[in-house]
């Protein structure tokens, strides 16, 4: 996914430069103008500077999956009503009246959402529809309408979030380069659910064997390592383990 930066000219209607202090949601929209391109929608926002409507979005994704960024991530967009103050907005183009996204658009949307969730330390549950904020049928294909029940609409949205979950780094197998082995020095080394001695004990290592570490974290000045088995974390302090 390549992001093309085509920032709007600052103006009160579409790029008011209000600081976006904290991002807690990623809001998805459909443009509601079938067959229109990403650049056409971006230019529509740009043209509001001449006196128009308070409307814009951080990103527009086109029918071929192209991604245009209209507004920096530390500024408000006018897209999601009362959620403007805490959300990044993404408008998606669509080929017809159903509002269904093309595969290319949806794939870019999933990649962009995964990128933003990691950047702002959020989870897939923090992706919202415009519908969830105001009840507006947006994105249309993921909202209850006379063409689809709430169950069908919600399922489509849930399936999309699952697609994003698969892209999140935390769900991926660790990079081989991050793996290393340690020999356990402590005769009885506690395994904890999370890094740190305050975390729940979930087991112990008593064989002073060699173990593979797949992830690390610092707790104070002490490095902790995640066991490849997935059971939990061990202290990698000098007294407890030696890197091989």
Which residue's CB is nearer to Zn ion, number 25 or number 29?
29
Shortest distance, CB of residue 158 to Zn ion, whole angstroms?
19
Shortest distance, CB of residue 185 to Zn ion, whole angstroms?
58
Q: Which residue intervals of the chain are DSSP H helices?
A: 38-47, 103-119, 130-134, 150-167
Q: What is the total count of residues that contact Zn ion (CB under 5 A)? A: 3
Per-position x/- string for 116-135, each x denoting binding to Zn ion as judged by CB under 5 A, each - no binding: --------------x-----
Q: Are strands 210-219 and 222-227 parallel, antiparallel or unpaired?
A: antiparallel
Structure tokens at 168: 């999140």
Cross-strand bridge partners of residue 92: 30, 61
Shortest distance, CB of residue 1 to Zn ion, whole angstroms?
21
Structure tokens at 14: 């579409």
Q: By CB under 5 A, what part of segment 13-72 binds Zn ion?
A: 29
Instruction: Assess contact for 46 and 14: CB atoms under 8 A.
Output: yes
Which residue's CB is nearer to Zn ion, number 25 or number 192?
25
Q: By CB under 5 A, what part of segment 173-212 binds Zn ion?
A: none
Which residue's CB is nearer to Zn ion, number 59 or number 240?
59
Query: Of 118, 121, 119, 144, which Cα lies nearest the Cα of 131?
Result: 144
Which residue's CB is nearer to Zn ion, number 95 or number 203?
95
Shortest distance, CB of residue 133 to Zn ion, whole angstroms?
9
Q: DSSP assignment, residue 238? A: T
Which residue's CB is nearer to Zn ion, number 135 or number 237?
135
Q: Which residue intervals of 5-102 are DSSP H helices?
A: 38-47
Site membership for Zn ion, residue 94 (CB under 5 A)? no
Shortest distance, CB of residue 156 to Zn ion, whole angstroms?
16
Residues 227 and 212: their CA atoms lie apart, in Å, by 6
Terminal Cα distance for the chain, rounded: 38
Site membership for Zn ion, residue 138 (CB under 5 A)? yes
Shortest distance, CB of residue 82 to Zn ion, whole angstroms?
13
Which residue's CB is nearer to Zn ion, number 95 or number 196?
95
Residues 50 and 11: their CA atoms lie apart, in Å, by 9
Residues that bind Zn ion (CB under 5 A): 29, 130, 138
């Amino acid at each position: 996914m390549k992001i093309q930066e085509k920032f709007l000219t600052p103006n009160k209607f579409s790029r008011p430069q209000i600081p976006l202090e904290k991002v807690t949601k990623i809001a998805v929209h459909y443009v509601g103008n079938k067959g229109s391109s990403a650049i056409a929608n971006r230019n529509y926002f740009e043209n509001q500077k001449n006196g128009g409507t308070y409307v814009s979005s951080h990103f527009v994704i086109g029918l071929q999956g192209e991604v245009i960024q209209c507004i920096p991530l530390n500024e408000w967009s006018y897209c999601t009503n009362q959620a403007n103050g805490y959300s990044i907005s993404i408008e998606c183009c669509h080929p017809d009246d159903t509002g269904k996204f093309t595969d290319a658009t949806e794939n870019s949307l999933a990649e962009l959402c995964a990128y933003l969730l990691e950047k702002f330390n959020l989870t897939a549950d923090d992706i919202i529809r415009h519908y969830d904020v105001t009840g507006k049928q947006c994105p249309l294909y993921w909202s209850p309408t006379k063409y689809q029940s709430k169950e069908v609409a919600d399922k489509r949205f849930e399936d999309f979030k699952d697609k994003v979950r698969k892209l999140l780094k935390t769900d991926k197998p660790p990079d081989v380069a991050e793996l290393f082995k340690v020999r356990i020095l402590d005769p009885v080394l506690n395994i904890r659910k999370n890094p740190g001695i305050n975390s729940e004990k979930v087991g112990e290592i008593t064989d002073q064997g060699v173990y593979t570490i797949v992830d690390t974290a610092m707790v104070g000045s002490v490095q902790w390592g995640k066991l490849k088995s997935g059971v939990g974390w061990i202290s990698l302090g000098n007294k407890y383990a030696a890197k091989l």
